[in-house]
Amino acid sequence: MMSIQKIKEDLKKKLSSKRYEHTMGVEYTSTCLAMRYGADIEKARLAGLLHDCAKYLSSEEKLSECERYGIPVSAYERKNPELLHAKLGACFANELYGVTDPEILSAIIWHTTGCPEMSLLDKIVFIADYMEANRNQAEDLPEVRALAFKDLDACLRLILEDTIAYLAKKKSVTDPMTQKTFDYYKKNK
């Protein structure tokens, strides 16, 4: 596997400065949440660092790379190809950076939409991506940030609920996996 320092150098070249700053924030926040919940700190750090490693691609490139990797693309993703950076990110983490750990790859895949029955690492990276210190758009951020260190599942539900409400207000369709994830955690946690 490539060293953390080399990964950072490569990402700094590929990502916009704002995206790179966000990536550093997610790496840091994932590490903090891992410490709080007893997750593997190095796995959280690496998943946080690589979560957006395919974000720099254009929509057309994302669709083309999915085809090259044989990644299935849903109708929703075809209309919203920016979501494909998560699935592609796991492929890039593996192929370009030598990450083989299925837990890290899973956390990268699900950091955008979530999924039912998320692992602890999946939840950590999903939440870190939403609330890292450079983020400032979501209305409930102070509550999310406080809740993240008290109750991970309650925090996850709040983020999903806010995301769905935000999309509804914008008259946008919610990704079916995000809705499925919300329904699962609302019912089971």
Q: pLDDT tens digit string along 142-183?
A: 999 999 999 999 999 999 999 999 999 999 889 999 999 999
Cβ atoms of residues 126 and 144 within 8 Å: no
Global pTM value:
0.96
Phi, psi of 114 (to 5 degrees): 70, 180
Please give the share of the chain, as a percent, with pLDDT higher than 70: 99
Q: pLDDT tens, 12-59?
A: 999 999 999 999 999 999 999 999 999 999 999 999 999 999 999 999
7: which 2 tokens?
């990964």
Grouping H, G, I as helix, E, B as strand and the rest as coil, residue 148 is helix
Give the amino acid at 165.
A
Cβ atoms of residues 126 and 158 within 8 Å: no
| Domains of the chain from N-terminus onward | 4-138 (1.10.3210.10)
